[in-house]
Amino acid sequence: MSVPNSTILPRSNLISGDEAFEFDGAAEILRAWGAGLTPDADLTLSEWADRHRMLSGRASAEPGRYRTARTPYMGEIMDRLSPGDPTQRIVFMKAAQVGATEAGNNWIGFAIDQAPGPMLAVQPTVELAKRNSRQRIDPLIDESPELRDRVKPARSRDAGNTMLSKEFAGGILIMTGANSAVGLRSTPARYIFLDEVDAYPASADEEGDPVTLAEARSLTFAHRRKVFLVSTPTIRGLSRIEREFEASDQRRFFVPCPNCGQEQWLKFERLRWQKGRPETAEYHCEGCETPIAEHQKTTMLECGEWRATATAADPGTVGYHLSALYSPIGWLSWERIVRAWDAAQGSDEAIKAFRNTILGETWVETGEAPDWQRLYDQRERWKPGIVPAGGLFLTAGADVQKDRIEVDVWAWGRGLESWLVDHIVIEGRLHRDAQRLRRGRRRDQVPPRLRRQGHRLARPLQEPGRVNRANPDI
**363-394: pLDDT as tens digits:** 988 765 556 665 666 677 777 778 887 788 88
Show Cβ contacts of residue 346 under 8 Å, excluding neighbours closer than 6 positions: none
CATH number for the domain running over 45-250+310-323: 3.40.50.300
3-state helix, strand, coil in the chain (%, to 5): 35, 25, 45
Checking 449-455 for CB contacts under 8 A at 24+ apart, the result is 449/385, 449/386, 449/422, 450/385, 450/387, 450/394, 450/409, 450/421, 450/422, 453/386, 453/387, 455/387, 455/394
Biggest CA-to-CA distance, the chain: 123
Q: CB–CB of 126/181 below 8 Å?
A: no
DSSP state string for 277-324: EEEEEEEEPTTT--EE-GGGHHHHHHT-EEEE-S--SSTTEEEEEE-G
Kindly give the interhelix angle for 348-357 and 334-344, rounded to the nearest 10 degrees. 150
Quick one: pLDDT at residue 157?
56
Quick one: pLDDT at residue 465?
53
Say how many CA atoms lie within 13 Å of 195 toward its Cβ: 25
Quick one: pLDDT at residue 126?
95
Q: CB–CB of 73/252 below 8 Å?
A: no
pLDDT along the chain (474 residues), means of 10: 51 52 74 66 90 85 91 97 95 94 95 95 96 93 88 66 90 94 87 96 89 92 94 95 96 97 96 95 95 96 97 94 96 96 94 97 75 64 76 85 83 84 79 56 51 60 53 48
Domain boundaries, the chain: 45-250+310-323, 393-466
In DSSP terms, 251 is beta-bridged to: 308, 320
373: amino acid identity, one letter = Q
Q: CB–CB of 458/393 below 8 Å?
A: yes
Say how many CA atoms lie within 13 Å of 468 toward its Cβ: 17
In DSSP terms, 256 is beta-bridged to: 263
- Between the alpha carbon of residue 154 and those of residues 56, 129, 216, 217, the distances in Å are 19, 17, 30, 26
Quick one: pLDDT at residue 411?
86
Quick one: pLDDT at residue 144?
87
| Ramachandran angles phi, psi of 383, nearest 5° | -75, 145
